[in-house]
Structure 1
Amino acid sequence: MFVLILAYLGGVLTIISPCILPVLPFVFARADRPFAREGLPLLAGMGLTFALVATLAAVGGQWAIQLNQGGRWLAMAVLALMGLALLWPRLADVLARPFVALGGRWSRHADGGSPWSASGLGVATGLLWAPCAGPILGLVLTTAALQGASVTTTVLLLAFSAGAATSLALALMLGGRFLASMKRALGIGEWLRRALGVLVLAGVAAIALGLDTGLLTRLSLASTARIEQRLVDVFADDPAPPSPVPQLGVPLPVEGWMPPLDGATGWFNSPPLTRAGLRGRVVLVDFWTYSCINCLRALPYVSDWAAKYRDHGLVVLGVHTPEFAFEKTPGNVARAIESLGIGHPVALDNDYAIWRAFDNRYWPAHYFVDAQGRIRYHHFGEGGYERSEDVIRRLLADAGATGLPGGYVSGDGRDAGAPASTDYTRTPETYLGHARAERFAGGELVRGVATDYYAPAALALHQWALQGRWTVTAEHARLERPGGSVVMRFRGRDLHLVMAPIAGDRPVRFRVTLDGAAPGADAGSDVDAQGQGTLDADRLYQLIRLRDGSDERRFEITFPEGGARIYAFTSG
């Protein structure tokens, strides 16, 4: 309920957000018409279209984004015809068949007043409004992308659009009274109609040039980002507290019963497992996803526990819950499981059913379940491995296991799975999609529109920038022309980047440099000493491993042939 209220309030605030400005001319083009007959259908069509397009953008992948861009251009063409018809009424009769006739009909309906034409105009306007997203809508879309298509997703998006429609409805009703009084008093109806036509065409031009998401955002003094972020902070639930430190002679607390595993969308290394079938065994549930650097570092310990205690009654169950859309593809997950050498059962949790059943929020997250099916301990993130292994032995002993092996697993991982450095000032995880982007130094990120970016000559520590023509979506940045690059000034021993080729299985070459030179001995496991590498799968790539430990360096990756999507940097 809190998130629903939050989404509605975020929509209400869009009336003072810069991204609503291009929509206003189309709304006020009907300001002097009856609200119930024209204003309400327009707003309803606008809100429903927005919710549909936003849902597709959140869960549908690249094809939905391309469809939305095509829909935007189609909507702009129709609305431009409407604007011209408002300027020159006779043009609506002259423009001919078949698509232009549709614009003429909409123009004539603007004079005659039809709920259907108003709702059709709302559909077109909704396509233009769909890229407008602040922190609250970004939160909703991220949740949608993680959890998959659901009634909850649509309800949240409808709540956001309903909030915006509420604000627009108030403005429309007040604006209609104001305009009607002006027409009665001054008799300027014809000029007013022409002025509205000019405003419509100006709005279409602004959107076509990308000004609706770029320039207007930079010029506006009424940005609502801070207000929305405060609302997020107020309504967000508190994170789950850590389990108490186990004490000798003190029983581990019971934190609840293990939830069912019914929501898994697939299984690897095992037939489907059930809660009832696991009764009598100690279970370690490991939430992970294959491009998560923290998961990759914890995975060697998890795999070693599975091998060490398998014959003593332990079942390690990996729950692969995706963070990015490409991690939902079963073939990608299967390849990751094989390359990482995972031998224990893995449940594919694409719908986030098991994640929600555990009320989990973290990658990695480990839940320790006793032989009776009760959760007795949990640990979030990396570290605490010896304590976790002590809990495993304790639960196995309580279940009657004897002759348990002593000592602790080494968990020696290689490449990206190697333990992190002890430099706690290293660059934090940095997302490159606009929904969670931070520390961008190349001006403003333009949402969903192909834009030319220019990287500054100097970057502060932890800052990054784009060079070349990119389209920045909520989840990733997509290179539109060959030769584009990404620059970052990072601190750490390692630098990784989650990437994917645009054309699926067609390999993409890339080149990395450190302080303008080839990395040499500082090259990561996915590049050679000259900095050359190949993007051949949707995954995390280790690009830098400094031989002398953690340091501050300027990094650049270039894609000479284009064809890349980039998601997030992580350091080590």
Structure 2
Amino acid sequence: MKRISLAFIGSVASILAATAAAAPAVPFRSKLPVEGAAPGFDGAATWLNSAPLTLKQLRGKVVLVDFWTYSCINCIRTVPYVRAWAGKYRDQGLAVVGVHTPEFKFEQDLTNVNAAVGRFQIDFPVAVDSNHSIWQAWGNRYWPAYYLVDADGKIRYKQFGEGNFDKMERAIQSLLGEARGSAVDSGLVNPAAPAEQMAPNLDQLGSGEAYIGYRQAASFRSPERVLEDRPQQYTVGALQLNEWGLSGQWTVGAESAMAGLPNAGVAHRFSARDLHLVLGPGKAGGSVRIKVTLDGQAPGADHGADIDAEGNGVVSATRLYQLVRQSGKVRQRRFEIRFLDKGAEAYAFTFG
């Protein structure tokens, strides 16, 4: 058997090392599929936090398009993550563009949208899509909805609804790595989520969204038949789980019900950690005092962020209000709210 000299082995090793050093590195490529060209933002009524933007202007950046509306609890609970992604990856080539497409008529009001952007501390550009033009161009059907666009203007990833934040961030990292040619930091954000922005308690969530306007109302249990768009006195008695009713004078419209006299009320039997209600004062600049009870008593430690332990609060803007957060074991409760002043509007219950 012939011996191979150490000098020869060393020479071969040197040649291989030099060849490897000379070979160009293979650029990082994302495995996310191409799903077509992104439609852009034509039709925006106006823009907040930015001059109008086009995808052509954003070419070379990865773009996260976030469809949301400001009174939607599912959207509200995603805000901390979208805001955190915008901050973490801004200098690495990510541009976040919010598209605010309203569900209710009051969400078309630019004053209300501006207030929500400030309240949620949103600093990335927001296209105000009051006429649903952008929504329709993208073929969107959900709040919230996320579309991830690569540096060449192609849609590469979609995600609908809240949750799965790790999957969304991994997709962002993947496309940023492709745009840069090398992988980016693989850590995940963990933003603080106060009040109504906290993740829902899905393991003990026994109640779903309930609309008060007649167009989408269900499980209404006041004995009086709803008189559409005209004032009427209502009463409410015993309720089964997920049933609700009105008391006092209300005018029930397609989207909401308006309290015609002081002390009108709404009751709902629910099972969830959190109860929210989309409410408005009825007129710009107005305010309506409210009083909340749980099982006929002051909520105490189970009060939400927008009332005190005695159940007192004020509705001074049209938005989602957190009225209950059960502090102990989640159980069925009878919620009641009385409006101490006339003119309040009630839109929808949501839970968490």
Q: Same fold (TM over 0.5)?
A: yes
Equivalent in the alignment of 2:73: 293
Shift of the 510–389 alpha-carbon distance from structure 1 to 2, 3 Å rule, reads: same
CA distance in 2, matches of 1:320, 1:522: 32
Asked whether the equivalents of residues 423 and 492 of structure 1 are also in contact (C-alpha less than 8 Å), the reply is no
Task: Tell me the C-alpha RMSD between the 2 structures.
Answer: 1.4
- Residues 1:484 and 2:261 are matched in the alignment: no
- 5+ residue gaps, structure 2, are 1-27
Q: What CA distance in whole angstroms lies between the structure 2 residues aligned with 1:440 and 1:515?
A: 19
Task: Sort the Cα spacing of 1:549 and 1:399 in 2 relative to 1 into closer, same or farther, 3 A.
Answer: farther
The 3-state SS of whatever aligns with 1:341 is coil
In the alignment, which residue of structure 2 is the partner of 1:495?
A: 275
Question: What is the aligned-residue identity percentage?
Answer: 49
Which of 120, 124, 131 does residue 340 from structure 1 map onto?
Answer: 120
Question: Do 2:76 and 2:196's aligned partners in 1 also have CA atoms closer than 8 Å?
Answer: yes
How far off its partner does 1:406 sit?
Answer: 2.9
Whole-angstrom CA distance in 1 between matches of 2:236 and 2:261:
16
In 2, distance between residues paired with 1:403 and 1:373? 20
Match of 1:321 in 2: 101
1:449 aligns with 2:230: yes
- Give the structure with higher Rg (CA): 1
In structure 2, the CA distance between the partners of 1:401 and 1:568, relative to structure 1 (3 Å rule), is farther
Contact map agreement 2:287 2:314 (CA 8 A) in 1 = yes
Report what 1:119 is aligned to. Answer: none
Q: Cα distance, 1:366 vs. partner?
A: 0.5
**Aligned residue in 2 for 1:181:** none
Could you say what secondary structure the match of 1:399 adopts? helix
Say whether 1:504 aligns with 2:284.
Answer: yes
Equivalent residue for 2:135?
355
Instruction: Determine the structure 1 residue equivalent to 2:23.
Output: none
In the aligned structure 1, how far is the partner of 2:233 from the partner of 2:122? 42
1:428-439 matches, within 5 Å, as 428-439=208-219
Matched letter for residue 404 of structure 1 = V
1:510, 1:534 within 8 Å by CA — same for their partners in 2? yes
Amino acid at match of 1:454: T
CA 1:565–1:375: 2 relative to 1, 3 Å: same
TM-score calculated relative to the size of structure 1: 0.56
Higher strand share: 2
**Structure 1 position 468, deviation (Å):** 0.6
Higher relative contact order (CA 8 A, sep 6+): 2
Query: 1:304 is matched with which residue?
Result: 84
**Shift >3 Å, 4+ stretches:** none
Aligned partners of 1:452 and 1:470 also within 8 Å: yes
Which residue is 1:459 aligned to?
239
CA distance in 2 between counterparts of 1:347 and 1:468 reads 40
Alignment of 1:423 with 2:209, yes or no, is no
Q: What SS is found at the alignment partner of 2:180? A: coil
List aligned pairs for 1:216-255, cutoff 5 A: 251-255=31-35
Q: Which one has a larger percent helix, Structure 1 or Structure 2?
A: 1
Report whether the alignment pairs 1:384 with 2:167.
no
Of residues 512, 523, 526 in structure 1, which corresponds to 2:306? 526
Q: Structure 2 residue aligned with 1:283, among 56, 63, 67?
A: 63
- The one-letter amino acid of 1:494's match is D
Q: Tell me if the contact between 2:149 and 2:157 (Cα under 8 Å) persists in the aligned partners.
A: yes
Q: Check the 8 A contact 1:511/1:531 in 2, yes or no.
A: yes
Kept in 1, the 8 Å contact 2:213–2:253? The answer is: yes
Q: Which one of 545, 551, 555 corresponds to residue 335 of structure 2? A: 555
The whole-number CA distance in structure 2 between the counterparts of 1:552 and 1:543 is 15
Which letter maps to 1:449?
R
Deviations for 1:61-88, whole angstroms, at most 9, x for unmatched residues?
xxxxxxxxxxxxxxxxxxxxxxxxxxxx
Q: What is the number of residues matched between the two proteins?
A: 324
Residue identity in the other structure for 1:455: V
State the 1:405 CA deviation: 2.8
Secondary structure at the aligned position of 1:278 is classed as: coil
Alpha-carbon distance in 2 for matches of 1:477, 1:392: 42
User: 1:512·1:555 contact (CA, 8 Å) conserved in 2?
Assistant: yes
Are the counterparts in 2 of residues 421 and 550 from structure 1 also a CA contact under 8 Å?
Answer: no
Aligned-partner SS, 1:258: coil
Q: CA deviation at 1:499?
A: 0.5
Q: Does the 8 Å CA contact 1:423/1:550 hold for their aligned counterparts?
A: no
TM-score (norm 2): 0.90
CA deviation vs aligned residue, 1:324-358 (integer Å, no higher than 9, x gap): 11111111111111111111111100010000011
State the shift of 1:506 in Å: 1.5
Mark the CA change 1:281 to 1:513 in structure 2 (over 3 Å): closer, same or farther. Answer: same
